[in-house]
Chain A
Amino acid sequence: MGLSPVLWQFLVKWMTNFAIIPPEASRIAPQVDALLVFMTLVSLVGLVLVGLLVTAFSILYRREKHPVAVQIEGSTLLEATWTIIPLGLFLVMFVWGSVLYFRIYTPPPNAMNIYVVGKQWMWKAEHPGGQHEINSLHVPINQPIQITLISQDVFHSFSIPAFRVKREAIPGRYTTVWFEATQVGTYHLFCTQYCGTNHSAMIGEVDVLTPEDYKKWLADSTSGVSLAQNGERLFASLSCNACHNGQPDSRGPSLANVYGSKLTLSTGQPVLVDEAYLRQAILNPSAHITQGYAPIMPTYQGQVSEEGLISLVEYIKNLSTNYRVQQTLNTTALLPEQPDKVPAKGASAQGVAKP
């Protein structure tokens, strides 16, 4: 071999653990790979076809062999053929790819939610039970996991090649991606969107654990306070409960059962209350005045971190009554027993759509 010994060594090393694709460690991975294989085959056929045509014509019609060119105008039939066949193939890839796309970004309803905040330069994951981890993510096997992403500063991108998923973490909005891991192991978690100095150091690990190991991990790393409990504490310390206390005469609408409902804004516009809406309503309340209420809520822009917002949102999501303090543990404050549902009289005024 004319190869240098160093290069040869590399080659041997590579060939011994030869890999063109990363391990298929999620439910979606084999489906993505199937399309990739199909596309590779089509591409190879196309490339070989072009290569063969050019080579064959170059040999057959080289000057020595074929001194006088035959002028040919074109051929509608041929041209139509190589317009329609690629178009057809591309359309197949489009449809197939779109089906995959919708599958990759449409989480099943039973997915377990984990929040991930991207910052320069780390991934901070927040489990609902309050477990935090940095540049690592522990997930149970065979359980759909929905990742809700946000960035605190610049664009980041959450990528797990072994799962074939990737989603941009964007400042100012929640994005989601889901996966279901199918192989126990440790996989790379990359930031793939260029994010400044330590972009290439923003690498984490995804640990896929068996359900038992995952339970053990949760128990070992619990902070004692769940996201919702932390949110509840913030809710009180930011004095949100001064207005959003669920009393009929309170200055703010009740937040019980507000998540997932349809509100009518003062502009008459209906809006679906989701995580993104709740976050926006905290940061920029004057743009989201609920019908029937005065625009008096101050902005909390700059006062709550992204993690704090996540806790608040998680608290509000879990809020079936403003008095859930009694249902949670770890709370010392005691409030008088209240009926478990919002008074019927105030319901429409508060803009909470009846089911």
Chain B
Amino acid sequence: MSTIVSLPDQATARIPKRNYLTNENGLLSWLLTGDHKRIAVLYLISITFFFFIGGALAGMIRLELLTPQSDLMASDTYNKVFTMHGVIMVFLFLVPSVPATLGNFLIPIMIGAKDLAFPKINLLSWYLYLVGGGMTLTAMITGGVDTGWTFTTPMSTHFSNTNVITTGLAIFVAGFSSIFTGLNFIVTIHRMRAPGMTWFKLPLFCWAHYAASILMVLGTPVLAITLVLVVLERTIGIGVFDPTKGGDPILFQHLFWFYSHPAVYIMILPGMGVISEVISTFSRKRVFGYTAVAFSSVAIAVFGFFVWAHHMFIMGVSNYAVLVFSLLTMLVAVPSAIKIFNWAFTLYKGSITFETPMLYAFGFMGLFTIGGLTGVFLGSSGTDIHLTETYFIVAHFHFVMVGGMLMAFLSGVHFWWPKMTGRMYPEKISQLAAVVTFIGFNFTFFPQFLLGMLGMPRRYAAYPHEFQVLNVFSTAGASILGVGYLLPMIYLIWSLKYGEVAGNNPWQATGLEWQIQSPPLTENFTTIPIVTQDVYDYEWLERQKEHEVTHVG
């Protein structure tokens, strides 16, 4: 980036000696840290680890589906592979990724605080995540689990001879990690904002995390209870979900989706927060209709709790329940549409550059739009009947989760990488990676919409011949996508040593995080800032530049 080299603080560029990374040394100083930034780094490392395990499993699935026969692995193995892929990706990657890494790192800084409200609980939540992750891996290595990530009863309670209990408890434990993170964010955002940081001066990133935190705190306990009930049903046969004992298997569906639908928003809302920051920065404008975007996050969170039964349209809920939940599902699509158009119009009369985070953000907008629109196909009950439980579902939620959430995560990681590490990533190759990811993604998942329209059921190890061509496309795309994910892994590690020194504010962005040194001090701010300017106030930023009133620390 030629513009970056010419910036004033690049001339004397070197990484400040004192920062959160060098503050203390030794493994113990990391394992016992209360610093939200270090915990974020710990999360980043562990989450990346699980992402690549989940990704490897995805690769195995795609390879198996290259041919119509189940020839790469036995169907039992295939079932365990897709179950583990789902469990790891959902509970150990998608749910914690943005909040636990970027959110953890940035929320205190963005609101002008020295740390989260409960640093020790924050560390505890990382340990819980590790314990949950460790248990999941143990379950996988010692025989796996074959219920699918949805743990549908009575399959999970009576008919599976695999490690359902270990996996269930693993998610139970990991769930507490999520609850604690949410609690920490809510309290921090409420109580620890710097003087002058009013609610409507909060970056949209914080708004999105605030909304997602509400979901985490209210939703996750329901999942925990549900999993405990499954474990009790397996061990002592309490019969809550067992029709022969007067229980109801549909009840499990209600309880499970009461968490797992909002969980989709736990995943996507923080990602939307990232996109708001990135688009604003690289078009040098305040987000179009800031208030609408902020409130649409809250609206998504609130509505998100009232749509769970749309997973059960064909499952024996009453026709009138279907009407209500279908209607509410349509309503929840509206705030998402608002966000997309507001982001698009943020570009209007901006001054746009196309660095990697921006490319990922564009990718997000395209893929999330497709993911969201196909969600409407499923929210409308009549068409849901044909499309549900087919590859259309698989394509839809991968567009939202992987196309949306993962693009947002990569966008955010690139965007804040200079702040977290003090160094720039190599721009050209990372732009290439963004493009490769986008192409690979579409190549992988678009054919799956067609497969779903044709009626190919999900979770099939073997399938009728006519579906092969589209599956070959999908697998071919997955190999491109794999390259797209490996590239950042390599060059980001490379940049830790060889990357250009970033300086405090390489993007010339607003926001408190860009006013402090990179990497930040352990205490973030030497003096608590007093916030007077509006959020995303680029005019103010220009004036600051002129007066040379620069950075804290």
A binds B: yes
B285 to A194, Cβ gap below 8 A?
A: no
Across the interface, name the chain A residue whose C-beta is closest to B332.
Answer: A90
- In the assembled complex, the Cα of A98 lies from the Cα of B384 at a distance in Å of 10
Of the residues A35, A71, A82, contact of B285 by C-beta under 8 Å: A71
Considering the complex, give the chain B residue whose CB is closest to the CB of A162.
Answer: B455
Q: List 6 A-B contacts (CB under 8 A).
A: A61-B283, A66-B350, A72-B285, A97-B384, A157-B389, A198-B75
Most buried by B among A50, A120, A194, A283: A194
- Residues of B contacting A103 with CB < 8 Å? 382
| Chain A min CB distance to B480 (Å) | 13
Residues of A within 8 A of B370 (CB): 43, 47
Q: Contacts A193-B152, A194-B155 given: A101-B385 contact, CB under 8 Å?
A: yes
Contact B246 A97 (CB under 8 A): no
Q: Choose one: A42, A72, A82, A98; the contact of B382 (CB below 8 Å).
A: A98
With A166-B386, A203-B464 given, is the CB distance from A195 to B380 under 8 Å?
no
| A72-B286, A94-B327, A101-B313 given; 5 more Cβ-contact pairs under 8 Å | A43-B370, A61-B351, A79-B289, A79-B341, A82-B341
Q: Which of A7-53 contact B (CB under 8 A)?
A: 7, 10-11, 13-14, 17, 19-22, 32, 35-36, 39, 42-43, 46-47, 50-51, 53
* B468 contacts chain A at the CB level, 8 A cutoff: yes
Stretch from B122-130, B192-200, B258-266, B318-326 at the A interface: B318-326
Q: Given that A35-B380, A61-B352, A74-B290 are contacting pairs, would A171 and B154 also be in contact in the complex, using a CB cutoff of 8 Å? A: yes
- Give Cα A180–Cα B314 distance, bound, in whole angstroms: 19
**When A50-B365, A101-B322, A201-B75 are in contact, do A71 and B386 touch as well, CB less than 8 Å?**
no
In this assembly, does A154 line the interface, its C-beta being within 8 Å of a C-beta of chain B? yes
User: Which of A184-192, A223-231, A325-333 contacts its partner?
Assistant: A184-192
Cβ-defined contact, B347 with A196, below 8 A: no
Asked whether, in the complex, the Cβ of B340 is within 8 Å of the Cβ of A19, the reply is: no
Give the complex CA separation of A168 and B388 in angstroms.
11
User: Which residues of B have CB within 8 Å of A62?
Assistant: 351-354
Asked whether A272 is an interface residue with its Cβ less than 8 Å from the other chain, the reply is no
| Segment of B13-21, B229-237, B415-423, B469-477 engaged in the interface with chain A | B469-477
Contact B472–A7 (Cβ < 8 Å)? yes
Residue pair A96, B155 in contact (C-beta under 8 Å): no
Tell me the residues in window 144-173 of chain A with beta carbons closer than 8 Å to chain B beta carbons: 153-155, 157, 159, 161-162, 164-168, 170-173
Contact B75 A173 (CB under 8 A): no
Question: Does B284 make an interface contact (CB < 8 A)?
Answer: yes
A309–B472 alpha-carbon span in the complex (Å):
45
Q: Is A271 an interface residue (CB 8 A)?
A: no
B532 CB–A CB distance under 8 Å:
no
- In the complex with contacts A74-B290, A166-B314, A35-B347 CB distance below 8 A: no
Does A301 have its Cβ within 8 Å of any Cβ on chain B?
Answer: yes
Contacts of B479 in A (CB 8 A): none
Residues of A within 8 A of B78 (CB): 200
Interface residues of B (CB under 8 A from A): 70, 75-76, 78-79, 146, 148, 150, 152, 154-155, 158-160, 243-244, 246, 248-250, 283-286, 288-292, 313-316, 319, 322-323, 326-327, 330-331, 333-334, 337-338, 340-342, 344-345, 347-354, 362, 365-366, 369-370, 373-374, 376-377, 379-386, 388-390, 450, 453-455, 457-464, 466, 468-470, 472, 476, 538-539
Give A240 to B158 CA distance when docked, in angstroms.
30
Q: How far is the CB of A286 from chain B (nearest CB, A)?
A: 11
Q: Is the CB of B246 within 8 A of A284?
A: yes
Given known contacts A61-B283, A196-B146, is B457 in contact with A159 (CB within 8 Å)? yes
Q: A69-B284, A73-B286 are in contact. Are A86 and B454 (CB under 8 A)?
A: no
CA distance A196 to B153 in the complex (A): 11
Contact (A200, B380) CB under 8 Å given A94-B326, A101-B313, A193-B389 = no
Q: Are B458 and A192 in contact, with the CB atoms below 8 A? A: yes
Query: Known contacts being A14-B470, A196-B79, is A166 close to B385, with CB within 8 Å?
Result: yes
Q: Are B366 and A194 within 8 A (Cβ)?
A: no
A287 to B246, CA, bound (A): 10
Least CB separation from A89: chain B residue: B376
Kindly state the separation between the CA atoms of A283 and B506 in the bound complex, as whole angstroms: 71
Q: A57-B352, A101-B313, A200-B461 are in contact. Are A188 and B455 (CB under 8 A)?
A: yes
Q: Which of B244, B386, B460 contacts A32 (CB 8 A)?
A: B386
Q: Which residues of A contact B290 (CB under 8 A)?
A: 73-74
- Taking CB atoms, residues of chain A closer than 8 Å to B351 are 61-63, 66-69
In the complex, are the beta carbons of B249 and A46 less than 8 A apart? Answer: no
Q: Name the CB-closest residue of A to B288.
A: A74
Q: Is B476 within 8 A of A82, CB to CB?
A: no
**B383/A97 in contact, CB under 8 A:** yes
A42, A100, A164, A192: residue with the most chain B Cβ atoms closer than 10 Å:
A192
Enumerate chain B residues within 8 angstroms of A304, measured Cβ to Cβ: none
| Assembly CA distance A10 to B539 (angstroms) | 56
A196 near B160: Cβ-Cβ < 8 Å? yes
Question: Please, what's the 1-or-0 string for A197-208, where 1 marks a CB less than 8 Å from any CB in chain B?
Answer: 111110100000
- Cβ of A168 and Cβ of B352 under 8 Å apart? no
**B345/A21 in contact, CB under 8 A:** no
User: Which among B148, B248, B341, B345 is the interface contact of A194 at CB below 8 angstroms?
Assistant: B148
- Complex alpha-carbon distance, A302 and B377, angstroms: 42
Contact between chains at B333 and A86 (CB < 8 Å):
yes
In Å, the complex CA distance between A31 and B98 comes to 42
Q: Within 8 Å CB of B323, what residues of A? A: 98
Docked complex Cα distance between A11 and B469 (Å): 7
Query: Which A residues lie within 8 Å of B79 (CB)?
Result: 194, 196-197, 199
Q: A50-B344, A167-B314 are in contact. Are A192 and B457 (CB under 8 A)?
A: yes
In the complex the two chains form, is B76's CB within 8 Å of A197's CB?
yes
B458 proximity list for chain A (CB < 8 A):
192, 194
Question: Considering the chains assembled together, what is the distance between the CA atoms of A103 and B315 in angstroms?
Answer: 16
Q: Select from chain A the residue with minimum beta-carbon distance to B293.
A: A74
Partner of B457, one of A90, A170, A190: A190
B342 in complex: contacting residue of A22, A79, A196, A287, CB < 8 Å: A79
